[in-house]
């Protein structure tokens, strides 16, 4: 198994460009995507593919780097969820305050 970082992941037309890798050989659920901006998008992926195409945008990485990226993505998701809950809580408080003001 190989662990790869694929840079320049999104083509100008918005399609993902896996640089000739066989996505059927990706380990299911191992993809970690960062920055969906067309200029900066990249991902980490585990693959069972042995014949990796030689592209400057594909780098083999260590398990340690992959795990760090996974932890960063998990932390990012948790932070986004906390922000969402915070906003929902504030909206609920506003709704209650408005209802009390209007005598509902």
Helix residue ranges per DSSP H, 24-62: none
Q: For each of the chain's 104 residues, which pLDDT tens digit applies?
A: 999 999 999 988 889 999 999 999 999 999 999 887 777 899 999 999 988 878 899 999 999 999 999 999 888 888 877 777 766 767 776 777 777 777 76
Q: What is the predicted pLDDT for the residue at 71?
A: 93
Cα distances from 89 to residues 78, 84, 86, 96, in angstroms, run 16, 9, 5, 11
Is the pTM higher than 0.75? The answer reads no
Cα distances from 52 to residues 16, 46, 48, 49, 88, in angstroms, run 17, 12, 10, 7, 46
- The torsion angles phi and psi of 43, rounded to 5 degrees, stand at -145, 160
Q: What is the predicted pLDDT for the residue at 86?
A: 67
Dig out the tokens for 51 from the structure.
Answer: 């014949």
Each domain of the chain, given as residue ranges in start order, spans 2-61, 74-104
């Amino acid at each position: 198994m190989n662990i790869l970082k694929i840079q320049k992941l999104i083509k100008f037309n918005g399609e993902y460009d896996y640089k000739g890798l066989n996505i059927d050989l990706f380990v299911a659920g191992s993809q970690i995507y960062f920055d969906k901006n067309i200029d900066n998008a990249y991902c980490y992926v585990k693959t069972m593919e042995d014949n990796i195409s030689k592209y400057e945008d594909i780098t083999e990485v260590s398990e340690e780097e992959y795990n760090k990226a996974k932890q960063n993505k998990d932390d990012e998701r948790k932070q986004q969820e906390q922000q969402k809950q915070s906003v929902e809580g504030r909206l609920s408080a506003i709704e209650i305050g408005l209802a009390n003001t209007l005598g509902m």
